[in-house]
Each structure stands twice: as structure tokens, then as C-alpha cells.
Chain A
Amino acid sequence: MTTATHAHADHEHHGPPSGLKRWLFSTNHKDIGTMYLVFALIMLFLGGASAMVIRAELFMPGLQLVQPDLYNNLVTNHALIMIFGAVMPAAAGLANWMIPLMIGAPDMALPRMNNLSFWILPAAALMLILSFVVPFFPGGGTQINTGWTLYPPLSLQVGMSMDFLIFAIHLLGVSSVLASINIIVTIFNMRAPGLRMMQLPIFVWAWLVTAFLLILVVPVLAAGVTMLLFDRHFGTSFFIAAGGGDPVLFQHLFWFFGHPEVYILILPSLGVLASILPTFSRKPLFGHHSLVGAMIAIAALGMIVWAHHQYTVGMSLAAVKYFMIMTILISIPVGLIIFNYMMTMWRGAMTFETPMLFTVAIILMFSFGGLTGVMLAVVPADMQYHDSMFVVAHFHYVLLPGAVWGLFAGVFYWLPKWTGHMYDEKLAKTFFWLHVVSFNITFFPQHFIGLAGMPRRIVDYNVMFTEFNMISSVGAFFFGISHLLFLYIIIKTVRGGEKAKARAWESAQGLEWEVESPPPHHTWTTPPTIKTA
């Protein structure tokens, strides 16, 4: 069916313009998707490099490599680069590439805005890097030693690098809101005729929910950092206690964004899994509609639990009780997703190609991170764990499996589609094992040192924590190195390899597998016919 449609479409559509213009002025969802993914990969290495310095410093107690302020700036950068630079653009890259293919649309609904929302990103990244570079020069002020949460009063005292960071956050926010508007409009208006909302793949649904979350919470963060900027330069006192303001207010604004942000990072990846699981289990997805419901429930609950990040600020008992109960409630829809995924595998004819290996590892280790999450939700327990390395271990167990591995799984799953070549399965499996084992060596010991009392975001530590920190650092170095292998696999696949069929995986379902691999520059110029089930 599809080959026929493309043959006659050739006279009106030609290939992409050549050279730099193809990328600078691109309005093509595939090219923009590729740029998002490449950008995310570069940022992954930048954020990873700062993590490597952090782990090298923590290899031994005492100060070896970096001074405390520089250390805390690296912690800040690691978080911001990974969240805003790596995970969100990578998820947006997948959305750009896959959503039009999956819903039978010729492109995104707003192609020019798509170009804009990508090209804001390099500018934002430049601002973010400048905020790190500026303090090294005379008169550059202090380093950003606040962590990514930017709590006042400390963030009011940091030098001009904080202003660079605030503008970087504004730009990143504009970019992701524009991308979200585009995705929502595309999903609502560009579906192939006859494709109903409830027939959409879970990945598309996950992104629809994510896009709405982004539109609802990113502007609140923008408002928060704008107030920070006003307090710093224009004499307002939103967060200055001496002027009648309240520093805790910033925490409420920040986490009103910050907690939904967690689901913004995780939902697209969970959506990817819903595409991968049926393929390698050779069974239809279990509970499609309930997955949609669970994702909407997660988004709704996720917006009203933000203050569980601030149990220790002195809220009243009634308030913390509310936030505790609502937070624990989230484990129900999340558990539903996990069980649906397990039921999809149940009695399936499973094979374990790399995307599936990642998926199984995600279900296992994301659940583990969820379990420590329930521990942290409990107020009296959280009072003990607050700001300890236990929290660091918890959110890395949630975000690496939950967000990053889902993106890796998606990249391996769709790489044959994008490049037209199969990746090297042997190398990819080596990468998987190296990555997952070293991940556990890195972060599992951090649970123990956290429970034993090692605080996070501090450059030095008591000598009693030395052994576990050494184990953690050694694991981290292997973890870091594993990404070079990932880069090599990608480059190798782009350059060549076994030719991939249109349906690269034998039992893959979905419209994206009906176009050739690699897809021509323009696809679905004639919408596909939807089989009515």
C-alpha cells in the first residue's frame, strides 16, 4: 500500500536541500528529530563529564580536585544539563521522529515553530555553559553553588552567573512549551482519517499527557525565576525575608514545576516501552485503555503533591499529611503501568534483543526506585533521609531506568528505521550489560551511605564513608566509559550495516513500520488507510 503512495508522490516532493541550509532552515520533522537527538547526545556527554568530576572528587574524603563552590556548581550543571539538555530534548527528538509516522501525518502541524523550538536550544545551552564559565574570569562573581533547585537566599547572593542561568531557564522553557503546543496540535488535528484517539499508540498518548504537563508547569517555573531575577536586580522582595517576602515561597513555586517535571521526564520513556514490549513478546499490549487512564491519573496527581520535596520546611501537620497520602497514592497508577507491562510479557514468545533487555531492566529497577520513593514519601521517615545520599540513590534509580534507559531502548528500537541499517547486536548487548551493571555498582552503595548519614551536595565527607564512595566512584567511571561504546554503536550504524527491512522487527506493529527504512524525506503525503478493528 505504502510503496504505491510514495511512487506517485515523487513529482511534487524532492529531497532535502543540501548543506547547512538543510539543518538551519529545516521544517522537516525527521531532520528536526535528528537534530534534537544529536543535541541531546552532546549534552549527555557534557552532563556526564561533570558527573565524572563529582565522582572523582568523592573518591576520597577531603578536597582533592575541586573547591566546594566549584563542586556545587558541577552538581548544579549536572542536573540542569541532564534534565533540560539531555533527557527532554531526546524525548522531543523521539516525538518529532515518531509521532507523525505513528499517526500517519505528513509532518508536524506547525513546522516552522518546530524549527524555532529546536534552534532556541543551542542558544540556551550556550547561556548555561556561560553561567559556568563566567566565574572563572575576574569580576565574574561566585559560582552557582545552589544546586539545580536555586533556593533563595543563596541564589540571591550568587554573582552574575545566576543571571545567565535564569535566562537559560527562560529559553529552555520557551523551547519546550513551543514544542509541546506543536505536539498537542499535531495529535489532535493531523491524525490519519479514521484513526481515533483511543487507537493511538501509548507513546503518542504519553507525549500528549507530557505536553499538557509541560504547558501547565513550565510557565510557573518561569514565573519563579523571573521573581528571583526581580529580587536580585529590581528591588522587589518576593523571597527576601527582610523585605516582607518568604524564601519558602520559591520552594513552593519551584516544586510546583519540579515534581510534574519528574513525570515529564518519565512518561515519554514509559510510552516507548509500550511499543517495544508487544514486539518482543509477540503479543498485543495488555490493557491499552487502562494505560491511557493511568498516565492521565499520574499527571493529575503529580500536579498536587509538590510539597513532598519540602517536608522539613515546617509545614503544619495537616499539610504534610495531605502531601504524604497523595504522594503514596501515585504508586497505584504507576503500579498499574508496571503490571500491565508485566502482563504483556506473560506467556509471550519472548526474545531479548537490546531494546527488550533495556525494557526488562527498566521494569525491575524503576520499580526499585519507586519503592524507595514510597519510603521517602512517608513523612517521619523522610525527616531522616532528607538531603542525604539516599535521596540521590533514589532519584537516580528512578530517572536512569525510568527516563534515560527508556530513551536508549527507543533509540535501539527505532535506529534501524531511522538509518536503514541494523545496529551491531553484539556490541549493543555489551553496552547494555556494561551500562546496567556499572549503574548498579555506582548507585546501590549510595543507599547505604545515605542511610548511614552522608549528606548530599557536600564536597567532603566523614572517613567512615570512604569504602562505599570508592566503590561508587569506580562504578561511575565504568558507567561513564560505557557511553563511549554507545556513541560508537550509533556512528557505526549510521555509516553502514546490515540493511533493515521496512518492518525491521518481525512482529512490530504500528504505522511507523509501514514506511521504508530509512523513510523517504516526506512520508504519508497520502494518509494511510486505517483498518477498523
Chain B
Amino acid sequence: MERDPDVRKASGRMVLWLGALTIGMFGFGFALVPLYNLYCQVVGIQSADQQRALNVQARVDPLGEVQDRWVTVRFDTTVHPSLPWALESNERSLRVRPGEIHEVMFVASNRSSAKVTGQALPTVIPWQANDFFNKTECFCFVKQTLDGGERREMPLRFVVSPALPDGVTSLTLSYNFMHLDG
């Protein structure tokens, strides 16, 4: 079908513009990777997690006076499928007062015959309580290497800070044991 040459030319120019816009938006998608970070820093809106990191300064000395209120601390363990271990704690939950030091034993056993290294990643739920849960000794600080069939008792010593907000009456410490190569 014959077309008016003026229309053809105008159409061609427009296709170029729109094609450039398309490619530009594809690039913009990649540019968003650094841009999101930059934008949040410039405008000053951090994610809840980054804001919490700023609050760390305000964290109160964990070894203040022992308070007369009770907080339930639950323990939860998960072992990644690639790690042939079993993990248990001698306590499923503890009732503690903020300011008191407590110790809980965790037992890891290697169910394979090979030497395996793993490390635990702790998570505190609710996250608002994270800064007020202080581990003074934890097996999660270092890598753990177990020989084939070995069973090891590992201590956790912790204090719930007296600065814990009043609304938090129970929290859960969850360990996720991951497999480390080498």
C-alpha cells in the first residue's frame, strides 16, 4: 500500500524515538540498582532495618539492674537440608528477668561419617527486640567443625537488656545452621 512520503518520514522518526525510549527504560531498570540506594541516602528514608542500625548507639548497658518483670525467651533451631546435622537445645523456652544472665546448652551431632563445617545464623523475633538481646557467648560467633558422628555441646550465654521495651513480653531466638564448604 502506497503511503504519503511525509507520513512515512514522520513515522520513521517516531519509531526511532520510541525505540530509544524502550532501550532507555531497559537501561533505567539496571540503573535502578544503584539509584535506589542513592535515593534513600539523599532523601534520608532508610528501610526499617537501616534505621535500627542507627539506633544501636542508643542501646543501653545490658548489665543494668535486674528488673522485676518476666520475659519468655523461646529457642528454635533449623538445619539447612545440605547440612547433615541434628541440633537441639536443652531448653525449649525460658522465663527470664531483664538483666539476668542465663546459659542454655545446644547439642549438635553430625549424622554423617564425614567431617563437616557449619555455622549458625541467629535471628531474633520480633525484630524490635533484636538490639536488646545480648549474647555474651555464642557458638554462632565462629565456624563449627564436627568429625563424622561427633556430638558437641555448645553453650549460649545471654542477657535481655533492662532497656527492652515494655510491650515485648516474649521473644524467639531462632538459629539457622548453614553448611560451609571447606
**Interface residues, chain B, with chain A CB atoms under 8 Å away:** 1, 7, 10-11, 14-15, 18-19, 21-30, 32-33, 36, 45-51, 127
Task: Give me 6 other A-B pairs in contact (C-beta within 8 A), A226-B29, A315-B47, A522-B1 excluded.
Answer: A109-B11, A180-B18, A185-B15, A249-B32, A316-B50, A525-B1
Which chain A residues border B10 with CB–CB below 8 Å?
A: 188-189
Q: How far, in Å, is A403 (CB) from chain B's closest CB?
A: 23
A219–B29 CB distance below 8 A: yes
Q: How far, in Å, is B143 (CB) from chain A's closest CB?
A: 15
Q: How far, in Å, is A524 (CB) from chain B's closest CB?
A: 11
- One of A177, A223, A315 near B29 (C-beta < 8 A): A223
Write out, one digit per residue, whether chain A residues 185-211 have a CB within 8 A of any chain B CB (1) or not (0).
Answer: 100111000000000000000000000
Q: How far is the CA of A215 from the CA of B27 in the complex (A)?
A: 13
Which chain B residues border A525 with CB–CB below 8 Å?
A: 1
Chain A, residue nearest B7 (CB): A189
* Given A189-B14, A238-B33, A219 and B25 contact (CB-CB distance below 8 Å): yes
- One of A218, A238, A256, A315 near B48 (C-beta < 8 A): A315
Q: How far is the CA of A190 from the CA of B26 in the complex (A)?
A: 28
Q: How far is the CA of A109 from the CA of B15 in the complex (A)?
A: 10
Q: How far, in Å, is B52 (CB) from chain A's closest CB?
A: 9
A215–B18 CB distance below 8 A: yes
A86 located at the interface, meaning its Cβ lies under 8 Å from any Cβ of chain B in the complex: no
B30–A222 CB distance below 8 A: no
Q: How far, in Å, is B124 (CB) from chain A's closest CB?
A: 14
Which chain A residues border B50 with CB–CB below 8 Å?
A: 316
A219–B36 CB distance below 8 A: no
B11–A318 CB distance below 8 A: no
B14–A188 CB distance below 8 A: yes
Which chain B residues border A180 with CB–CB below 8 Å?
A: 18
- One of B28, B30, B36, B48 near A316 (C-beta < 8 A): B48
Q: Say whether chain B's binding surface is mostly helix, strand, loop, or mixed.
A: helix
- One of B22, B24, B46 near A177 (C-beta < 8 A): B22
Q: How far is the CA of A317 from the CA of B48 in the complex (A)?
A: 8
A252 located at the interface, meaning its Cβ lies under 8 Å from any Cβ of chain B in the complex: yes
A135 located at the interface, meaning its Cβ lies under 8 Å from any Cβ of chain B in the complex: no
B29–A253 CB distance below 8 A: yes
Chain A, residue nearest B18 (CB): A181
A216 located at the interface, meaning its Cβ lies under 8 Å from any Cβ of chain B in the complex: yes
Indicate the member of B18, B46, B47 with the most A CB atoms within 10 Å: B18
A319 located at the interface, meaning its Cβ lies under 8 Å from any Cβ of chain B in the complex: yes
A57 located at the interface, meaning its Cβ lies under 8 Å from any Cβ of chain B in the complex: no
Chain B, residue nearest A321 (CB): B45
A314–B49 CB distance below 8 A: yes
* Given A185-B14, A249-B33, A252-B36, A215 and B45 contact (CB-CB distance below 8 Å): no
A216–B25 CB distance below 8 A: yes
A106–B46 CB distance below 8 A: no
A256–B23 CB distance below 8 A: no
Which chain A residues border B33 with CB–CB below 8 Å?
A: 227, 238, 249
17 contacts between A and B (CB under 8 A): A110-B15, A177-B22, A181-B15, A181-B19, A185-B14, A189-B14, A215-B25, A220-B25, A220-B26, A222-B29, A227-B30, A249-B36, A252-B32, A252-B36, A313-B47, A314-B127, A319-B47
Write out, one digit per residue, whether chain A residues 435-459 have a CB within 8 A of any chain B CB (1) or not (0).
Answer: 0000000000000000000000000
A184 located at the interface, meaning its Cβ lies under 8 Å from any Cβ of chain B in the complex: yes
A512 located at the interface, meaning its Cβ lies under 8 Å from any Cβ of chain B in the complex: no
Q: How far is the CA of A215 from the CA of B29 in the complex (A)?
A: 13
A220–B19 CB distance below 8 A: no
Chain B, residue nearest A256 (CB): B32
Chain A, residue nearest B48 (CB): A314
B45–A318 CB distance below 8 A: yes
Contact residues, A235-282 vs B (CB, 8 A): 238, 248-249, 252-253, 256
Q: How far, in Å, is B23 (CB) from chain A's closest CB?
A: 7
Chain A, residue nearest B25 (CB): A219
Chain A, residue nearest B26 (CB): A219
- One of B18, B32, B36, B127 near A220 (C-beta < 8 A): B32
A224 located at the interface, meaning its Cβ lies under 8 Å from any Cβ of chain B in the complex: yes
A514 located at the interface, meaning its Cβ lies under 8 Å from any Cβ of chain B in the complex: no
A382 located at the interface, meaning its Cβ lies under 8 Å from any Cβ of chain B in the complex: no
B47–A220 CB distance below 8 A: no
Which chain A residues border B26 with CB–CB below 8 Å?
A: 219-220, 222-223
- One of B7, B14, B15, B22 near A219 (C-beta < 8 A): B22
Which chain B residues border A224 with CB–CB below 8 Å?
A: 29
B22–A181 CB distance below 8 A: yes
Q: How far is the CA of A220 from the CA of B27 in the complex (A)?
A: 8
Q: How far is the CA of A24 from the CA of B42 in the complex (A)?
A: 53
- One of B1, B28, B30, B47 near A106 (C-beta < 8 A): B1
A107 located at the interface, meaning its Cβ lies under 8 Å from any Cβ of chain B in the complex: yes
Q: How far, in Å, is A51 (CB) from chain B's closest CB?
A: 31
Q: How far is the CA of A219 from the CA of B51 in the complex (A)?
A: 32
Q: How far is the CA of A221 from the CA of B22 in the complex (A)?
A: 12
* Given A177-B22, A316-B48, A220 and B28 contact (CB-CB distance below 8 Å): yes
Q: How far is the CA of A405 from the CA of B1 in the complex (A)?
A: 36
* Given A315-B48, A316-B45, A215 and B28 contact (CB-CB distance below 8 Å): no
B25–A217 CB distance below 8 A: yes
The 5 A-B pairs of least Cβ separation, nearest first, read A223-B29, A219-B25, A219-B26, A220-B29, A314-B48
Q: How far is the CA of A109 from the CA of B12 in the complex (A)?
A: 10
Chain B, residue nearest A242 (CB): B178
Q: How far, in Å, is A161 (CB) from chain B's closest CB?
A: 20
Which chain B residues border A522 with CB–CB below 8 Å?
A: 1
